[in-house]
Structure 1
């Protein structure tokens, strides 16, 4: 998959340096192959959740580093594109502001 973009992860890692290893592992694993659909994605990332926003768009929520961090993405499986929308701590995720994008 083509992931857009590492910059959001880099900015997060600047604030949370201990997250680098987990973020790199997630990025490399997602980038290393194409996923045809949500079910295929769950074979590698069993804890990923699909969330439908009020706008009707789907977002995919990945638990990273033992559920300490969340990466929220838009994914176009047919194009092989992953758009990172948010990289959050668990506490930031729980506030739910990301649902109103």
Structure 2
């Protein structure tokens, strides 16, 4: 998988505890491994059983923080959105910022 916006993730990791940063970088090394080729959500679940899908976004639990990404399975690309404390995640404001608006049914 290709990871898009790595510099943004690295910048955001400067503001988290060192154990979170270490775990997030370990997560990133798995993501960028040539062996990681996810075709759908269940493939992610085989690697990370605690991953959640919220609309078109995927949420990984990293030491109590929530790492939020978008995934394009066809392109084998992961797009970094943000990393939040659990409380910030639960507030839900991130959904309006990072999730695509739903199209109205015609």
Q: TM-score, normalised by structure 2?
A: 0.82
Instruction: Tell me which stretches of 4 or more aligned residues in structure 1 moved more than 4 Å.
Output: none
Unaligned stretches of 5+ residues in structure 1: 53-57
Kindly provide the CA deviation profile for residues 21-75 of structure 1, in whole angstroms up to 9, marking residues without a partner as x.
Answer: 11111111122111111111110011111111xxxxx00011112xx11111110
Aligned-partner Cα distance in 2 for 1:46–1:20: 20
CA–CA distance in structure 2, aligned partners of residues 36 and 8 of structure 1: 25
* TM-score after normalising by structure 1: 0.86
2:82 aligned with 1:86: yes
Larger Cα Rg: Structure 1 or Structure 2?
2
> 1 CA distance for matches of 2:88 and 2:4?
21
Q: CA RMSD in A?
A: 1.1
TM-superposition CA deviations, 1:72-96 (whole Å, max 9, x none) = 1110011101001111111211111
